[in-house]
Amino acid sequence: MLDRIYNFSSGPAVLPIPVLERIQRELLCLPGVGASVLEISHRSPPFEAILHSAEQHLRQLLTIPSNYRVLFLQGGSRLQFSMIPMNLLRGATGPADYILTGTWGIKAHEEAVKEGPVNIAWDGKTSYNSLPQPDKLQYSNQSAYTYFTSNETIQGVQFPHPPRSGSAPLVCDASSDFLCRPLNVADYGLIYACAQKNAGPSGVTVVIIREDLLERSDPNLPGYLNYQNHAAENSMYNTPPTFGIYVVDLVAQWLLNDMGGLPGILKKNQHKAQLLYDVIDTYPHLYQGHAEPACRSLMNVTFRLPNDELQTAFLQGAKQRGLQELKGHRSVGGIRASIYNAMPVEGVTTLRDFMQEFAARTA
Ligand code: PMP
């Protein structure tokens, strides 16, 4: 505990202390099991109980309707960039529509075009600091699905509400804002998130898919890449990422029991983000926010300083206060403060105070 930094990493990222403490307590011996979760068979009753518990807690948090399946997969979100078009676009009558609001949507689109026809419904190029107005979305006829990234982790651009979709199912990459706020699962055909930002460690990806969409999967797909197999085997088609699933369960329990569920964590997240955006708005010449105010992310606060010297001095000063991992993604530079669910408010107020002091010193 003593030397813990305030960790603003974009992922893998900070986890809740009570979750880490519980992992530590249970690492030699799960209660009543006599071994750790790392050592037991995925087919054993204790692990089956963990898998069931993780699914039930996610269902409870998100009020997932019964006609949706919850899958725990591997391969990160990147594999979903391919699995989604492989399962939902192959053999479809129309193209898939992609809304591009930043780097991860672009990368998902690059994979989708390998699988079938894709239409770009909107592209936020070249600055990727905004979201489409509803009347600017150009959907295709008989679209197979509409794809969007609810939070662009690198640009710090987040949809406050899902975009208007046509009649096609909405597919959402929620990797960096999963469980940060309530959402209406019934609005979506498929939602997915790698766990390593807001829900657990790397190695497990949660996919929530409406049951009828499973019928689209081509039986000739490689077995692992076919959603139907994972649904039929309850995420036990092959050895699932057992440790990751266990941690996702603990994080879900922490949200339910300690944070007031998703409405409670949303309030905290809004408060934390506002603390930083207020400083950005107070010193707009020093802290140049990337995202337009209407689409600022609750999870990844992105801004630049006017030149490299100031940026370096800012990062150095921050580090001296235990504020770390604030450097923006290598592709865009600048500063990025990732303030996921588990970032304590003290971490954000310490950063806020430092930003104010740095501004006073620089003026
Ligand atoms: N989508 C988003 C929004 C992300 O932030 C990331 C990871 N930073 C990915 C996809 C890719 O995730 P992974 O590394 O698990 O493949």
Residue extent(s) of CATH 3.40.640.10 domains in the chain: 18-258
Give the torsion sign (CA, 291, 120, 69, 65).
positive
Give, using CA atoms, the residue closest to atom 11 of ligand 1: 77
Q: Identify the active-site residue in 173, 177, 254, 327.
A: 173
**CA 102 to ligand 1: nearest atom:** 3
> In the predicted model, is pLDDT for residue 264 greater than 80?
yes
Q: Pairing mode, if any, of strands 205-210 and 190-194?
A: antiparallel
**Centroid of chain to Cα 25:** 27
List helix spans (H) across the chain: 17-26, 45-62, 76-88, 103-112, 227-232, 242-258, 261-282, 308-320, 345-362
> In the predicted model, is pLDDT for residue 166 greater than 80?
no
pLDDT tens for 27-68 read 999 999 999 999 999 999 999 999 999 999 999 999 999 999
Do the Cβ atoms of 299 and 348 come closer than 8 Å?
no
340 alpha carbon – ligand 1 mean position (Å) = 14
pLDDT exceeding 90 applies to what percent of the chain? 96
> In the predicted model, is pLDDT for residue 197 greater than 60?
yes
Q: Is the distance from the beta carbon of residue 101 to the nearest atom of ligand 1 less than 6 Å?
A: no
147 alpha carbon – ligand 1 mean position (Å) = 15
> In the predicted model, is pLDDT for residue 1 greater than 60?
no
Interatomic CA distance for residues 251 and 214, integer angstroms: 28
Predicted confidence at residue 109, as pLDDT, reads: 98
Query: Rounded to two decimals, what is the model's pTM?
Result: 0.98
Q: Is the distance from the beta carbon of residue 172 to the nearest atom of ligand 1 less than 6 Å?
A: no
Residue extent(s) of CATH 3.90.1150.10 domains in the chain: 261-362
Do the Cβ atoms of 335 and 304 come closer than 8 Å?
yes
Architecture of domain 261-362: Alpha-Beta Complex (3.90)
Predicted confidence at residue 260, as pLDDT, reads: 98
What's the DSSP call for residue 139? P
pLDDT tens for 205-260 read 999 999 999 999 999 999 999 999 999 999 999 999 999 999 999 999 999 999 99
pLDDT tens for 102-147 read 999 999 999 999 999 999 999 999 999 999 999 999 999 999 999 9
Do the Cβ atoms of 290 and 329 come closer than 8 Å?
no
| Encoded tokens for 179 | 């469980």
Do the Cβ atoms of 10 and 331 come closer than 8 Å?
no
Interatomic CA distance for residues 40 and 33, integer angstroms: 9
Assess whether 268 carries a catalytic annotation: no
Q: pLDDT tier at 2 (50, 70, 90 boundaries)?
A: low
- Best residue among 9, 104, 154 to mutate for probing ligand 1's pocket (most ligand atoms within 8 Å of CB) is 104
| Average per-residue pLDDT for the chain | 97
**Centroid of chain to Cα 54:** 17
What's the DSSP call for residue 296? B
**CA 152 to ligand 1: nearest atom:** 3
Do the Cβ atoms of 69 and 59 come closer than 8 Å?
no
pLDDT tens for 89-109 read 998 999 999 999 999 999 999
Q: Is the distance from the beta carbon of residue 162 to the nearest atom of ligand 1 less than 6 Å?
A: no
**CA 80 to ligand 1: nearest atom:** 16
Of 290 and 329, more confident: 290
322 alpha carbon – ligand 1 mean position (Å) = 26
| Encoded tokens for 62 | 């998100």
| Encoded tokens for 161 | 């509400």
What's the DSSP call for residue 163? P
Q: Is the distance from the beta carbon of residue 76 to the nearest atom of ligand 1 less than 6 Å?
A: yes
Q: Is the distance from the beta carbon of residue 297 to the nearest atom of ligand 1 less than 6 Å?
A: no
Count of beta carbons in the 10 Å neighbourhood of residue 320: 8
- Best residue among 152, 157, 176, 204 to mutate for probing ligand 1's pocket (most ligand atoms within 8 Å of CB) is 176
* The CATH fold of domain 18-258: Aspartate Aminotransferase; domain 2 (3.40.640)
pLDDT tens for 8-34 read 999 999 999 999 999 999 999 999 999
Interatomic CA distance for residues 182 and 298, integer angstroms: 13
Q: Coil, helix or strand for 302?
A: strand
197 alpha carbon – ligand 1 mean position (Å) = 9
**CA 78 to ligand 1: nearest atom:** 16
> In the predicted model, is pLDDT for residue 355 greater than 60?
yes
**CA 151 to ligand 1: nearest atom:** 3
